[in-house]
Amino acid sequence: MAENGQQSQGRSGADGASPPEGYDLVYNGQPLPPFYAAEILRPLIGRTVWIRDAGGHTRHGQIKDVPWLKEDQQRDVPPVVFEDDRPFYLKQIVCVAVYAGDKCKDAS
């Protein structure tokens, strides 16, 4: 039951959580090594994204910085930094979506 103010999550992918309405799916699949997660996110710097890891942790907001990693780097991986300066670590990323409303916002 979804009573007492609790909401149930939508279903998609292996473990359930899908991006919020208004977000376009970029990746949804097996957990990514940190290098590949960073490569997916780097072109999205300045855009609003929604990210989920294999543990079900999610984060959304505008990306400020994405670390440069070696392809085989698994330890001492710096986090992605969002505009609010809160980090999100690139561990086991299984879903990435970008907010559809900010397409071409920098075009002039």
Q: Domain containing 92 — which CATH number?
A: 2.30.30
The verdict on residue 88 lying in a domain is yes
Count structural domains, the chain.
1
Count the Cβ atoms, other than its own, within 10 Å of residue 40: 18
The verdict on residue 45 lying in a domain is yes
Q: Residues 48, 98: contact at Cβ < 8 Å? A: yes
96: burial class by Cβ within 10 Å (0-12, 13-18, 19+)?
buried
pLDDT digits (tens, 9 = 90+) for 56-99: 999 999 999 999 999 999 999 999 999 999 999 999 999 999 99
The verdict on residue 2 lying in a domain is no
Nearest to 63 by CA among 76, 75, 49: 49
pTM higher than 0.75, yes or no? Answer: yes
The verdict on residue 1 lying in a domain is no
| Residue 73 belongs to domain spanning | 23-100
The verdict on residue 35 lying in a domain is yes
The verdict on residue 61 lying in a domain is yes
The verdict on residue 27 lying in a domain is yes
> Which two three-digit tokens encode residue 55?
């543990």
Which pLDDT belongs to residue 101?
83
